[in-house]
Structure 1
Amino acid sequence: MHTSRTALVIGGNGGIGREACLALQRHGWQVRALVRHVPAACDGIEWIRGDAMQRDDVLAAAAGTAVIVHAVNPPGYRNWDTLVLPMLDNTIAAAKANGARVVLPGTIYNYGPDAFPLLREDSPQHPPTRKGEIRAEMEQRLAAASRAGVRALILRCGDFFGPHAGNNWFGQGLVRPGKPVKTLRYPADYAHHHAWAYLPDVAETIAQLLEHELADFDAYHFGGYWLDAYAMADAVRRATHHPHIALRRFPWWLTALAAPFTETLRELRKMRYLWKTPVRLDDAKLAALLGSRPYTPLDEALRATLAGLGCIEVQGQLREVLPGEKRDQPKAYATAQQ
């Protein structure tokens, strides 16, 4: 068994990458992060400048590591066909050279309607989009690598959101960053339930999973929050202390007009099928292993997210809230339990 407690996070400046660095630190790991741009603050992390497309950069950064978190994606959904799989191949090569486990934060894009509405770890993967096909191929390459001695862990999640999330439906569709929330724009019928994954909780779950004995190729589902428009709107109203936030339909017609000029919008439109059929992740396997579901109370997660998006002002000083932690807060920030 690998005894090193050093982990490499590829894409440490991204939403899941940043949270993975912090979660692994909390669990006693020495953390390195491979990034194109080294931040000013180190925060105890060993930042390494490099490019995930350059195999030598990845091999050098991964030397002596036990875990490699593959948290890198092309920004704005651009160039998936040419970048995603080569970057993963470099991570697999680095893991093989060091006997490390690859951790992939996954999505539900690799599933199609034949697997809906409840996704289990062994549900069939027949994606209806090119991006989904690439996601499925990523998992297939990790499975093949595991048969050649490279261990892998996949944590599949719903739509990401959080204070530092990148491209995501919550921060780019439901609300407008940098502005107080007056209207919540929902991309489906109001009764449609959708799976949401709070990034700090996803990272905490990865760190907790790594504390357990895992199969050489293992996959878990992160259930997160299962909400319709009414529940999401009510939670945003509580988080912002504004009870009159309106609920409106997302203007899909507007994205149709702009999509020919914006690749991000084109890709979002291709994922519209996930807003037409409820899709839920079965997290029974995860809960059985961990003994609990490490999900932060919804109001608290939304408050942190909206503050990170610049949609609300945070008054006073708050101690950092660890993902999954339930604690009493000052009255002004009391969490409404559901």
Structure 2
Amino acid sequence: MAGIALFGAAGAIGRSIAAALRAEGRPYRVVGRSRASLERDFGADPLAEIVTWTPDDPESVRAAARGMDTIIHLVGVEYHQFQQHPVLMRQVLDGAVAEGVAKLLLIGTVYPYGRAQTMPVREDHPRRPHTFKGRMRKAQEDLVLEADAAGRIRGAVLRLPDFYGPGVERSVLRSAIDAAAKGGRAQMLGPIDRPHEFLYVPDAGPVVAALVSRDEAWGRVWHLAGPGTITAREAAGLAFAAAGRKPKLMVVGKLGLRLGGLFSPLLRELVEMHYLWTDPVVMDDSALQALLGPIAKTSYAEGLRRSVMAAAEA
């Protein structure tokens, strides 16, 4: 078996990984709940095999994993349903092990760390999540790492920071990109003058494609950091400058999230993660660069320019 399956492929990171595999001429399988969305994103690629699944059906999970050597787990859940992350992870692991899949890479987040005790944060930083979402993400990671330690499957975790890019809807910079491209006022989550990091989504795919090909990748956690730190105000300024517009910003802090949460479930869910804006987690990815060599990272100015141009054309 030599195939790679992207479970939860229809998201932004999944599309980036697929593009990297396509560029290398490597066949891959995309797995998701909606055939229509998979056909829209991957139907024109002869290297892509499209498979739909029902996660709650063990046979459906096994069929999606069948014949694959490697699974990349990107399965998303609604922001108010984070309790599903470890459930889905166990379902995928059980199906993968039953089908003899050799390796599984989980694409993770900084949530399991909780508040940073050092800066930047290395992979050996304690995982002490103080939020429900952090605990669910930690439980998800534990399942992968414990399965690796038990010899059931080779497992690893790649943690990513917040991300953005052309066509990426679920980004905290999306409002700034749209406002810069089309006019209007950007709605920003504040405070907006603390150092933060963002990953330009097209940069992720080549890194993941390289990582899963390395024997040394398994049995541990890795970081892929952004190209340095930037404040949200600076990022918005670069986006507006790319469109030749003067920045117009409306900043919403924690109190605003609480008030907005009375009417918006998403804003209500953001309240517990607001600490990431007052005490950002900035990652050190020197271990990944030691393994793979220098990693190409798009500058914020260029990434935001491309994102604004794409939004203007949409």
Superposition TM-score tier, normalisation by shorter sequence: 0.7 to 0.9
SS in 2 for 1:84: helix
After superposition, residues 81-92 of structure 1 pair within 5 angstroms as 81=83, 83-92=84-93
Could you report, residue by residue, the CA deviation over 1:110-166 in whole angstroms, capped at 9, with x for unpaired residues? 112253432111110001110000111111111110022211121111112222434
Residue 158 and residue 68 in structure 1: after superposition, are their counterparts in 2 closer, same or farther (change >3 A)? same
Contact (CA 8 Å) 1:161, 1:171: kept in 2 or not? yes
Alignment: residue pair count: 305
| Distance in 2 separating the partners of 1:66 and 1:259 | 43
Residue 125 and residue 235 in structure 1: after superposition, are their counterparts in 2 closer, same or farther (change >3 A)? same
Relative to the length of structure 2, the TM-score reads 0.88
Contact (CA 8 Å) 1:204, 1:294: kept in 2 or not? no
Contact (CA 8 Å) 2:180, 2:308: kept in 1 or not? no
| Distance in 1 separating the partners of 2:240 and 2:168 | 21
| Distance in 1 separating the partners of 2:52 and 2:15 | 15
Contact (CA 8 Å) 2:177, 2:236: kept in 1 or not? no
User: What RMSD in Å do the two structures reach over aligned CA positions?
Assistant: 2.4
**Equivalent AA in structure 1 for residue 85 of structure 2:** V
SS in 1 for 2:111: coil
Residue 177 and residue 70 in structure 1: after superposition, are their counterparts in 2 closer, same or farther (change >3 A)? farther
Contact (CA 8 Å) 2:73, 2:107: kept in 1 or not? yes
> 20, 23, 27: which is aligned to 1:26?
23
State the match for 2:237 in structure 1: 234
Relative to the length of structure 1, the TM-score reads 0.82
Identity of aligned residues (%): 28
**Greater per-residue helix proportion:** 2
Residue 268 and residue 91 in structure 1: after superposition, are their counterparts in 2 closer, same or farther (change >3 A)? same
State the match for 1:222 in structure 2: 224
After the TM superposition, which segments of 4 or more aligned residues of structure 1 sit over 4 Å from their partners? Answer: 174-179
**Equivalent AA in structure 1 for residue 162 of structure 2:** D
Structure 2: runs of 5 or more not aligned: none
After superposition, residues 135-284 of structure 1 pair within 5 angstroms as 135-149=137-151, 150-171=153-174, 174-176=176-178, 180-225=182-227, 226-242=229-245, 244-250=246-252, 252-284=254-286
Judge which range, 19-28 or 191-200, deviates more: 19-28
1:24 Cα offset (Å):
2.2
**Equivalent AA in structure 1 for residue 89 of structure 2:** L
Contact (CA 8 Å) 1:190, 1:230: kept in 2 or not? yes
Could you report, residue by residue, the CA deviation over 1:271-314 in whole angstroms, capped at 9, with x for unpaired residues? 10010013210011111112112212323322333345x3x238
1:222 Cα offset (Å):
1.1
**Equivalent AA in structure 1 for residue 24 of structure 2:** H
State the match for 1:8 in structure 2: 5
| Distance in 2 separating the partners of 1:230 and 1:263 | 26
Contact (CA 8 Å) 2:116, 2:281: kept in 1 or not? no
State the match for 1:107 in structure 2: 109
| Distance in 2 separating the partners of 1:157 and 1:278 | 13
Contact (CA 8 Å) 1:187, 1:249: kept in 2 or not? yes
| Distance in 1 separating the partners of 2:81 and 2:232 | 32
Could you report, residue by residue, the CA deviation over 1:63-100 in whole angstroms, capped at 9, with x for unpaired residues? 1111111111113x13221x221211122123323232
Could you report, residue by residue, the CA deviation over 1:223-262 in whole angstroms, capped at 9, with x for unpaired residues? 11411134313321343233x2234523544432231343
State the match for 2:121 in structure 1: 119
1:30 Cα offset (Å):
1.3
Residue 257 and residue 231 in structure 1: after superposition, are their counterparts in 2 closer, same or farther (change >3 A)? closer
Could you report, residue by residue, the CA deviation over 1:193-214 in whole angstroms, capped at 9, with x for unpaired residues? 0121222212221112123222
